[in-house]
C-alpha cells in the first residue's frame, strides 16, 4: 500500500466534501492521526482501511477517481498553457485558483514563469525554481521542460546582450532535448535562437550551419510561419557574407511561399529583407538600378499595411527605408510624403522612440534641401524624445552640421553641440573598451 499516495487522496476527498479533520475524526482515529495519515507519516493499514470505509471508498475506487482527476488536471493545465500566449494575466489567475497535485509542481512553476515573461516581469528566478523542482521530480523525462527553461533563460541573457551566456544556455537546452518527447516544436525555437546568437557574435558560418541542421531534421512538423522565419534568417545571413544573389533567391522564394499561404506578416518581413539586399548590392556596385529595386521592395511591403496583424513595427521600417531611398535619389517631394506617413504612424501608436527616428530622417532631408531652420527644429525634436545614444548621436551631429552652415553668428551653438558630440564619442569608446 502506497500510504503517501492514499493519504493524499484521502485529504483531497475530505476537502472536496467540505470536511475538517475534526469532522472526520472519532474515537477510533483522532484528528492528529488523520493529519499524519494524509501526509503519509502514519502507516497503519487498519486505520487506513477504517477511514476509507468511513468515507465509503475502496483503494480501487480511489485509484479510479485519481485517474479521472489527473486527466481533468492535465486538460486544465493544457488550457492554461494556451492561455499563457493569449492572456498571460488570466493564466496566472487560473494557476492560483486551485490546489494542484504536488506532482504538477514543476509544470505549474514553468507556466507561471512563462506567463510572467510574457507580461515583461522578472521570470528568471521562476525558471530556476522550475529546474530545481524538475531535479526532485519523476515522470518529466519526456516533457522537455528542462530544455524549455534553458531556452527561455537564454532569451533573457540575449536581451541583456550577454550573447556568449545566451549561447551557452541554448546549447544546454539542445543537449538535453528529448526528440521523442513533448513540445517537439521547441527544438526549432532552440535551433533558430542558436543561429541568431551565432549571427550576433559575428560567427556567420556557424549560424548558417545551425540552420542547415534544422533542415536535416525531416521529422519536424514545421508550421508555415516557422518555415518562413528560416527563409528570412537565411537570406539575412547570406547578405552578411555578401552572397547577394543567393540571398535574393532565398528571399524571393520565401515571399512566394508567404504569398500563397496568405502570411502577410512574414511577407512584409521578407520584402524588407529583399529591399535591404538590393540596397547593399547598390552600395557594393554603385548601380542606381539596385537602389530602384530596393525602393520597389519597400513599397511592396507598405502595400501590406492593412493586412499585417502582429509585426506592425515592420510597416514603420518599410516606410523609413523607402524615405531613405527617396532621399538618396534626391526625390525630396516623395521623401516628405513618406515622412508624413511615418509621423502619422508614430502619433497613432504614441511611440516616441519611433518618432525620434522619423525626426532625425526629416532633419537629414531638410539638410539636403538646405532648409537649415527646419533641419534644426527636426533634430531638436528628435533630441527631446530620443532614448538611445545612437539617436542622440545622429541628432547632435545633425545640429552641428546645420549650425555650421549658418555661419559665424552661430559659432557658440556649433561649439556647444560639438562638445556634446565629443562626450558621446568618448562614451562609445569607453563602452567598447569594457566589452
Structural domains of the chain in order of their starting residue, each with its CATH number: 3-57 (1.10.260.40), 351-435 (1.20.58)
User: Each residue of 413-430: pLDDT tens digit?
Assistant: 999 989 988 888 887 665
* pLDDT of 434: 41
* pLDDT of 40: 83
Kindly report which listed range (211-220, 273-282, 286-295, 328-337) carries the lowest average pLDDT score: 211-220
Higher pLDDT, 211 or 158: 158
**Is the CA virtual torsion 239, 245, 246, 252 positive or negative?**
positive
Q: How confident is the model at residue 139 (pLDDT cuts 50, 70, 90)?
A: confident
User: Each residue of 333-380: pLDDT tens digit?
Assistant: 898 888 888 888 877 666 677 778 888 888 888 888 888 988 898 898
DSSP string, 242-282: T-HHHHHHHHHHHHHHHHHTT-HHHHHHHHHHHHHHHHHHH
Cell of 336: 516628405
Length of the chain: 435
pLDDT score of 69 more than 80: no
* CA distance linking residue 135 with residue 145, whole number of Å: 11
CB distance 150 to 163 below 8 Å: no
Alpha-carbon distance values, 61 to 30, 51, 65 (Å)? 24, 14, 6
DSSP character at residue 138: S
Q: How many angstroms separate the most distant Cα atoms in the chain?
A: 103
The residues near 250 (Cβ < 8 Å, ≥ 6 apart) are 231, 234, 235, 238
Q: How confident is the model at residue 290 (pLDDT cuts 50, 70, 90)?
A: very high
* pLDDT of 428: 67
Q: What is the mean pLDDT of residues 306-334?
A: 87
User: Each residue of 164-201: pLDDT tens digit?
Assistant: 999 999 999 999 999 889 988 888 889 999 999 999 99
User: Each residue of 382-417: pLDDT tens digit?
Assistant: 888 777 888 889 999 999 999 998 888 888 999 998
The per-residue b/e assignment along 378-402, b for 16 or more CB within 10 angstroms, e otherwise, is bbbbbbebbeeeebbbbbbbbbbbb
Mean pLDDT of the chain: 87
pLDDT score of 219 more than 50: no
Cell of 272: 524588407
Cα Rg of the chain, angstroms: 30
Question: Could you tell me the pTM of the whole model?
Answer: 0.67
Cell of 234: 537565411
Cell of 324: 531613405
* pLDDT of 312: 80
Cell of 290: 539596385
Amino acid at each position: 500500500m502506497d500510504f503517501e499516495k492514499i493519504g493524499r487522496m484521502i485529504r483531497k476527498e475530505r476537502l472536496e466534501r467540505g470536511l475538517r479533520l475534526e469532522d472526520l475524526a472519532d474515537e477510533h482515529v483522532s484528528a492528529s492521526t488523520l493529519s499524519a495519515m494524509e501526509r503519509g507519516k502514519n502507516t497503519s493499514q487498519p486505520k487506513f482501511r477504517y477511514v476509507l470505509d468511513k468515507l465509503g471508498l475502496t483503494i480501487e475506487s480511489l485509484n479510479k477517481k485519481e485517474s479521472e482527476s489527473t486527466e481533468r488536471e492535465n486538460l486544465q493545465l493544457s488550457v492554461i498553457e494556451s492561455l499563457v500566449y493569449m492572456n498571460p494575466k488570466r493564466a496566472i489567475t487560473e494557476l492560483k485558483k486551485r490546489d494542484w497535485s504536488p506532482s504538477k509542481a514543476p509544470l505549474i512553476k514553468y507556466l507561471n514563469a512563462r506567463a510572467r515573461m510574457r507580461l515583461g516581469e522578472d521570470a528568471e528566478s521562476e525558471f530556476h525554481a522550475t529546474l530545481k523542482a524538475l531535479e526532485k521530480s519523476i515522470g518529466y523525462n519526456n516533457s522537455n521542460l528542462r530544455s524549455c527553461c534553458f531556452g527561455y533563460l537564454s532569451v533573457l541573457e540575449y536581451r541583456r546582450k550577454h550573447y556568449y551566456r545566451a549561447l551557452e544556455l541554448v546549447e544546454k537546452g539542445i543537449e538535453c532535448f528529448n526528440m521523442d518527447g513533448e513540445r517537439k516544436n521547441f527544438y526549432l525555437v532552440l535551433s533558430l535562437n542558436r543561429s541568431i546568437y551565432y549571427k550576433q557574435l559575428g560567427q556567420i558560418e556557424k549560424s548558417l550551419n545551425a540552420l542547415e541542421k534544422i533542415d536535416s531534421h525531416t521529422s519536424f512538423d514545421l508550421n508555415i510561419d516557422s518555415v518562413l522565419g528560416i527563409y528570412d534568417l537565411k537570406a539575412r545571413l547570406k547578405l552578411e557574407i555578401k552572397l547577394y544573389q543567393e540571398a535574393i533567391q532565398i528571399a524571393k522564394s520565401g515571399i512566394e511561399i508567404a504569398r500563397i499561404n496568405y502570411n502577410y506578416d512574414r511577407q512584409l518581413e521578407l520584402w524588407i529583407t529583399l529591399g535591404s539586399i538590393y540596397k547593399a548590392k547598390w552600395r557594393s556596385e554603385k548601380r542606381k538600378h539596385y537602389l530602384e529595386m530596393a525602393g520597389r521592395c519597400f513599397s511592396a511591403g507598405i502595400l501590406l499595411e492593412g493586412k499585417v496583424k502582429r509585426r506592425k513595427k515592420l510597416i514603420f521600417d518599410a516606410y523609413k527605408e523607402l524615405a531613405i531611398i527617396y532621399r538618396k535619389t534626391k526625390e525630396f517631394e516623395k521623401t516628405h510624403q513618406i515622412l508624413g506617413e511615418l509621423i502619422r504612424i508614430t502619433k497613432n501608436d504614441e511611440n516616441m522612440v519611433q518618432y525620434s527616428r522619423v525626426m532625425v530622417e526629416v532633419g537629414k532631408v531638410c539638410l539636403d534641401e538646405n532648409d537649415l531652420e527646419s533641419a534644426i527644429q527636426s533634430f531638436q525634436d528628435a533630441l527631446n524624445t530620443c532614448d538611445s545614444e545612437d539617436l542622440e548621436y545622429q541628432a547632435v551631429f545633425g545640429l552641428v552640421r546645420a549650425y555650421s552652415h549658418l555661419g559665424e553668428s552661430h559659432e557658440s551653438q556649433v561649439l556647444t553641440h560639438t562638445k556634446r558630440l565629443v562626450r558621446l564619442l568618448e562614451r562609445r569608446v569607453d563602452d567598447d573598451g569594457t566589452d
